[in-house]
Amino acid sequence: MSLKRFLFMPRTPLNHVLCGWAQAAAAIGDQWSILIVRDAFKGVKTFSAFQKSIGVSKGVLSRRLEHLVASGILAKAPVGLGASHSEYSLTPKGKALLPAMLALAQWSDKWVFGEGNEPYVVVDALNQAPVPPLEVRAQDGRRVELEDLTILPGPGCPKSEP
């Protein structure tokens, strides 16, 4: 019988992995954070508004908001002087998630709900027209697909050899 059976092996944390995707996963790689950021993009700011919109329990919401603030994606600021309550707003780092969030929305618009549907989630406010799908273009302007790209490991990412 092995002694190791009684040693605890904690969940492998991702923060120490110096890989872009691991960092993104550590920041918003859970279901609640994505929905919180989505609501923040819509303009939701208060605790109760987040809770009503997402339907998550208060304890979980508190921890997720704390985590997003610690990650620099949201900023918590008291409103007024009485500090009766605070508001959460997107930082520049949080707003920079727009392309990623938009790409995720367009992906599910097309591949989860079906091609027949028109994209409806994000519209250009000026023209009231949907935003066309994001495209990946190289520096010379031509469209590139996955096959045209090389994914580098990046520091901290293991070099996986297929």
Partner DNA sequence: CAGTATCCTCGCAGATACTG
Partner DNA sequence: CAGTATCTGCGAGGATACTG
Q: Which does 100 bind (CB under 5 to 8 A by kind): DNA, its own copies, none?
A: its own copies
CA-wise closest residue to 32 among 1, 7, 59, 4: 59
Q: Which does 59 bind (CB under 5 to 8 A by kind): its own copies, DNA, none?
A: DNA
47 within 8 A of 65, measured Cβ to Cβ: yes
Distance, CA of 32 to CA of 29 (rounded, Å): 9
Residues 35-74 that bind its own copies (CB under 8 A): 35, 38-39, 41-45, 49, 52-56, 72
101 within 8 A of 38, measured Cβ to Cβ: yes
* Rounded alpha-carbon distances, angstroms, from residue 82 to 8, 44, 65, 78, 79: 46, 21, 22, 8, 8
Each residue 58-87 as x (binds DNA by CB under 7 A) or -, in order, gives xxx-xxxxx---------x-------xxx-
Q: Which does 149 bind (CB under 5 to 8 A by kind): its own copies, DNA, none?
A: its own copies
Nearer to its own copies, 66 or 120 (CB): 120
Each residue 31-50 as x (binds DNA by CB under 7 A) or -, in order, gives xx-------------xxxx-
Shortest CB 30 distance to DNA, Å: 5
Nearer to DNA, 7 or 125 (CB): 7
75 within 8 A of 89, measured Cβ to Cβ: yes
Q: Which does 77 bind (CB under 5 to 8 A by kind): DNA, its own copies, none?
A: none
Residue 65, C-beta contacts closer than 8 angstroms, at least 6 positions apart: 36, 47, 50, 74, 76, 88
Nearer to its own copies, 76 or 95 (CB): 95
